[in-house]
Each structure stands twice: as C-alpha cells, then as structure tokens.
Amino acid sequence: MASEASSSKGEFDIYQTYRKILDDEEMSPPLAAILSLSQLMVESNAGTMFELVKELHDGAEELKRHTTNPISLNAGCELFIAFVTLFPHESDSFAELKTELVKQGQKYAKEAISYRNKIAELMLDFIKDDSVILTHSYSRVVMRALLHAHKTKRISVYVTEARPRGLGVKTHEVLTAVGIPCTVVLDSAVAYVMDKVDFVLVGSEAVVESGGLINAVGSNQMAIIAKAAHKPFYALAESYKFHRLFPLSQYDLPTHNPSILSFPSLPPRPFVTPPTTSGVSPPIAKSGIDESLNVTPTSSSERSMSAEMTAKNPDVDYTRPDLISLVFSDVGILTPEAISQYLVAMFAG
C-alpha cells in the first residue's frame, strides 16, 4: 500500500526513511522523525503552507501507524510541525521558504545530538565521589552522564534487568567494559536495593505538560519506592522529548489499549460435584489441583513468559511529577512545575 506521505516526484516512503535514520545508534526517535519530515518536504510538491502542513501531519500519522510506541516519535513530529507553522514567512518564494525550513530542520537535528553532552555536564555536580546509583533499563543520555562522571569520579551502578527486553544487561555490559562497577538487579528487587543507593537516575521517552515522566515500564515503581525511602529521583531528558500530553493515569497514555493487562478467554468451568449428604467433598489430588482439570505443571526450567503473555504488558509507564526530584535537560535543571511553563513558551512561538 502506498504511503499517504508520497509526492508526484515518486513514492516517498517516510517510514523506511525513518527506519534507515535510526540505524545510527546516536539517533533517537524524535530526531529521526524530524529528519524524516524534513526529507518529506524535499520530496513535496506542496504549493502553499496549508498544503505543506497537511502533508507533514499525514507523514506524522504514517509514522505513528507503523509504530507500537509512538510517544517519543510524536514529540519530535509535534515540535517540527510547530516550528514550520511558526517560522516567519519573509520570502516571496514558497520554494525558497521550503528549502530554508529543510535546512533548519536538518541543522536542529545535527545540533541536538550534542544535547546529551550538555545534560551530562549539568548532572556532574550532583554525582559525588563514591556515589552509588540505581538506573533502569538502557538510556543513551543516562549512559552519557555515567560515562562522563566516570572520567573524574568513582561511581558504582545498580541497573534493573528491565524485562522483557532485558536492556539492563546491555547497560551492565557497557559500564563493566569501561571499568564502572555494575550489578544487575531483578525488577522485583528495587525495594530491596533502594537503601544501598544515593539516588535514582533514569532517562525518558517523554516529559509531559504536568512535569511527569513517560519512560520504560518499571520507572514508576522505582519512583514510588525512592520517594518512600527519601532518595532523590532524577530524570534526564533532551528538550526534544518535551511533549504536550497531560496524562492523569497509566491508562491515558497513547500506548494503552484494551489488550494490555487483559484477562484471557477461558473455556467454561467444568461442573463441580457438590458435597455428598455426609458432608464429604470429592478427593483432591496430592498436588492440590483437582485432577479433573488435567493440568500438567511445567518444570522450573520452562517457567518463562510466553510472547502472548509479554504482549499483554505495557512497554512504558507514567510517573507523576510529585515523585520526581529534578529534570535535567539541555535547557537547564528544571523542577517538574517548570516543565509546563517551558512547554507553553516553546509552542507559543
């Protein structure tokens, strides 16, 4: 099926362009989205701003349609379309205006790669010598901060396994390779390890208007436990991940759907013989399972979640702003309350 984001210059596949850009390890979904929309403008035959903005919206929808978790991608699309809409139209030639917009989009994406370095530098003052840090899964900006701190300070890191993808193991491999002591902990052991850490440090899929955080599932429970243990919970987020969303709960996230945490459809329950007049019930198997159900227990080596079980679980969760100590971004160190003000100013032009 041809993409709606095509032009008469030939069929332009914006999703394939997006995937190709993401082959670069340094590229995050929001920046890849910005570059993809910039390329869409190069291919576009739009003759008016109205037509161009419509094509950009169609391109953004095409990207979201192919992505199971479009949150950070959508933040980039939203940012770029707002930029195009608010860009001063000083040129009499619309073709020249499009060329300038493409240049500005590409320039922004190139400069934004350095934002992680700015955040790592801001974070450095909050990492003391001999700090013990708990992080979650794998985050490029968190890795940049930890590797930067390692140049001048002694740090040790606990990282959650982050099932089902197990990206915490990737974090462990990278940190261990450069000489940072790192231990992988079970996702279920966050409360157990919390008393041993100085603070929690996580990345972000998006920071939303409330000042809350959307990140890899498990981040919310880490924040709740950190709050209860009186440990700082810091989030690192590039400004292109600031997103005009206002979720009130986990179920307001764009990634939520009815299949998440749904119960399976089971066959009708078998008829259970009522107790006899003597009050004695039918015998139960020694295993504690009614033998009439024909249940075959799995061995311990086989007890792992199936793909179907995993699919019923969320990829990301939402952390309320009251659980977040500070957000470190390329635009500065912000309180959750300041995020909303920044977003309003950013999209007001």
Q: What is the pLDDT along the chain (349 residues), one digit of tens a residue?
A: 444 444 444 589 999 999 999 999 999 999 999 999 999 999 999 999 999 999 999 999 999 999 988 999 999 999 999 999 988 877 778 999 999 999 999 999 999 999 999 999 999 999 999 999 999 999 999 999 999 999 999 999 999 999 988 999 999 999 999 999 999 999 999 999 999 999 999 999 999 999 999 999 999 999 999 999 999 999 999 999 999 999 999 999 999 989 999 998 888 877 666 666 665 555 555 555 555 556 666 666 567 888 898 999 999 999 999 999 999 999 999 999 999 888 888 776 5
Note whether 147 and 177 are within 8 A (CB).
no
Q: Which residues partner with 201 through β-bridges?
A: 135, 234
Which of 114, 322, 325, 112 is closest to 202 using CA atoms?
325
Q: Please tell me the distance from the alpha carbon of residue 292 to that of residue 295, in angstroms, as a whole number.
A: 8
pLDDT score for 14: 96
Q: What's the whole-model pTM score?
A: 0.86
Tokens of 21: 């850009």
d(CA 110, CA 35): 9
Strands (E), 178-305: 182-185, 199-202, 206-208, 213-216, 233-236, 242-243
Q: Give the per-residue pLDDT at 265.
A: 84
Please tell me the distance from the alpha carbon of residue 109 to that of residue 103, in angstroms, as a whole number: 10
**CB of 199 closer than 8 Å to CB of 155:** no
- Phi first, then psi, for residue 160 (nearest 5°) are -70, 150
User: In terms of DSSP bridges, do strands 233-236 and 131-135 run parallel, antiparallel, or are they unpaired?
Assistant: unpaired
Burial, 103: exposed, middle or buried (Cβ in 10 Å; 0-12, 13-18, 19+)? exposed
**Confidence (pLDDT) at 267:** 83
* Selection from 334, 337, 346 nearest residue 235 by Cα: 334
Sheet containing 131-135: order of strands: 182-185, 155-160, 131-135, 199-202, 233-236, 326-329, 332-334
Answer yes or no: are the C-beta atoms of 316 and 214 closer than 8 Å.
yes
Q: What pLDDT is recorded for position 231?
A: 98
Could you tell me the strand order of the sheet in which 213-216 lies? 242-243, 206-208, 213-216, 316-319
8 Å CB contact between 98 and 106: no
Sorted by sequence, the CB contacts under 8 Å of residue 270 that are 6+ apart come out as 292, 293
One-letter amino acid identity for 301?
S
In this predicted structure, what is the pLDDT of residue 336?
94
Identify the CA nearest to 16 among candidates 66, 57, 55: 66
